[in-house]
Chain A
Amino acid sequence: MTVRMATPLIYGTIGETFTERAGVLNLGIEGMMLMGASVGFLVGYQSGSLWLGMGAAVLTGVLLGLIMAFLTVSVGAQQHVAGLGLTIACSGLSFYIYRVWVSDVGGVAPHMRPFTTIPIPYLSQIPILGDVLFNQYALVYIGLILVPISAFILFRTRFGLSLRAVGENPDAAATAGINVFQTRYVCLVVAGVLSAVGGAWLSLAEAGMFLPGLTQGRGWVCIALVVFANWSPMKVLAGAVLFGGIDALQLSLQGVGWNIPYQLFLMLPYVLTILVLIAVSRRARAPAALLLSYKRED
């Protein structure tokens, strides 16, 4: 449960880590997740193939990443505002597409059989741990593998070094022959794809349906998790599992049936995120060029 709830957070937060390391705050992540969930489910349902739906989500992510990159890198728009605009437009559009489509298929919320888990032979037999880690959805495995791969790319490859240089001091990076624009474009497209896949995971694996506002603000939690993880992919895993755990706890507490309004449990992840941000504020050190747009001619 915890690992499942953590999965969209892992995808989103890894993507966001890449863009912020390259100096771009991507507030469009919530919108990207919603569009991924919406388009992914639509294509998946119509084609009958979950993986085709996932492919559509990837393409959606590429497109949205390119739009965000065009706005923040080429046009040099304020990053907060561009991201927020993208999220507003995408959240409206994802709902819009869904409504148009639902009225086409007869007004009943469409539902499809979601992804099923793939138990890994032998390993899934391990008591408790086996079921948690090795009897999961393909996308959960991919997400878990993504974490060390991202850490490797970021800290052990030439591209990772360029990326971090761009996020710390784009002028110096450009002088050293790194293409700042291109690096940031790549990061935003990667983030777009990961966010959209994280969103599509919600509709195609978790819910088997799309609902407006399906992401429930998980995109924003991802942005906070990046700070929590101190811009490091390995710590993202810890943060995502922690918050996935709270989410799972919140769901099971709702089921207990205490005489407490369940909205208080829904509030829990957000309150905790804020508290965590306060707690880590002393050691948090954002990439130096975060939020700064880079202009070639200056």
Chain B
Amino acid sequence: MEKRLLPSQRLSIAAPVVSTLVALLISAIPIYGGGVNPLIGYAELLHGALGDKLALTETFVMFAPLLLCGLSVALAFTCKFWNIGAEGQLYCGALFASFFAVYATSVPSFIAIPVMLVVGFLGGAGWAIIPAILKVKLKVDDVVTTLLGNWVMTYAVAAILFGPWKDPVTGWPESPVISSTTKFPILIPGSRFHLGIVLALLVAVAFYVIIRKTKLGFELLGIGGSQTASYPAGINVSRDFIFAAFLSGGIAGLAGVGQLAGILFHMTTDISPGFGYTGVVIAMVGGLSPIGVVLASLLMAIVVQGTQAMHRATGVPWALAETIQGIILLCLLVGVFFTKYRLRRGA
């Protein structure tokens, strides 16, 4: 075992691909254990995610929140803000957006949708800067606070939906339906391919510009590299760190807005099945780079959407999607190791 002088460029690209394949190979064991031929299972997965127009548009429906959560986490991790709280920030963003969207009945769409996006962004951002400020001012561990924040926020949302917002007729824990002027337009007729998917891609472009073309992005990379070296270099570490948290949480909040205004149309307690956690997997598999995150989100969307199809076709439990995601991440960590080291023959 010997350290490479520089991480191998070729292997850096190969690592996520090979890791994913190995992870799918390992995941064949539980699929087989569930009484399904893994080959048939994976065929159903691919067919269900990419097989026809409906499957494809549904994969993109899944892609939007995953991409936003992946970008949110990637931005945070770039400056070593260990934000595991995208899930809670997503909920907070959706909650804030729904406060506005439910009551915005008389506001025309071209005003209502931008305002809703801003409100949702601020909701997620507000929830994210609390742990960032605690980290900067009091050195409170950000991993723990962002994680616990997810629980606090999901229970807060549940308390509102089971309490003041409980549907008076059905008793379901869901908010009233949002104003039709705040619903995202459908871009491909006969599907659920909504405006939010395009917006998510625009955020990815904005992420690229921020990280690669602006002073802030340069400084964030610096902070991620070495905080101690960033101070004498004249970087205001605290300010940049909190601003990155603001953006990171805001992007996660937008993921919540997209689910609210593009898919569900009312606030529910299960607006996200764990997109925020998958965001961590995506950010790592994508190597924190904009293009990498887009590709990793597409991969995860295929896995999640395809596993649903596999579940419907073969009865394999739906929890398989989460299992595969976790295994992909673990395999990737081993894969990354081989981009930094090589086996020395005959040593």
Contact = CB atoms under 8 A, between A and B. Distances in A.
Contacts of A227: 141, 144
Contacts of B3: 297
Contacts of A97: 30, 33
A96 B156 contact: no
A263 interface: yes
Contact of A27 (B143, B148, B152, B337): B143
Nearest to A297: B3
A82 B333 contact: yes
Nearest to B139: A281
Nearest to A30: B147
A88 B325 contact: yes
B225 interface: no
A81 B145 contact: no
B203 interface: no
A223 interface: yes
Interface string B137-181: 011110111011101100110111011000000000000000000
A270 B152 contact: yes
B323 A92 contact: yes
B322 A223 contact: no
Interface stretch (B58-66, B99-107, B240-248, B313-321): B313-321
Nearest to B31: A96
A71 B325 CA distance: 16
Contacts, number: 145
A220 interface: yes
Contact of A77 (B280, B320, B333): B333
A282 interface: yes
Interface stretch (A53-61, A108-116, A187-195, A271-279): A271-279
Contacts of B84: 80, 84
Contacts of B334: 71, 75, 77
A278 B140 contact: yes
A224 B333 contact: no
A170 B31 CA distance: 41
A144 to B, nearest CB: 26
Contacts of A277: 140-141, 144-145
A178 interface: no
B67 interface: no
Nearest to A272: B148
Interface string B1-32: 00100000000000000000000000000100
Interface string B280-293: 11001000000000
Given A75-B337, A261-B162, 20 more contacts: A25-B143, A71-B330, A77-B336, A86-B326, A92-B320, A95-B317, A96-B34, A96-B319, A99-B317, A100-B33, A103-B315, A103-B317, A221-B148, A227-B141, A263-B156, A266-B155, A267-B152, A278-B134, A284-B139, A297-B3
29 contacts: A25-B143, A31-B326, A76-B337, A82-B330, A84-B84, A85-B281, A88-B277, A89-B322, A91-B326, A92-B326, A93-B30, A93-B326, A96-B30, A96-B34, A100-B317, A223-B143, A223-B144, A227-B144, A261-B160, A263-B155, A263-B156, A270-B148, A270-B155, A273-B144, A273-B148, A274-B148, A277-B140, A277-B141, A281-B138
Interface of A: 25, 27, 31, 67, 71, 75-78, 80-82, 84-93, 95-97, 99-100, 103, 212, 217, 220-221, 223-224, 227, 260-264, 266-267, 270-271, 273-274, 277-278, 281-282, 284, 297
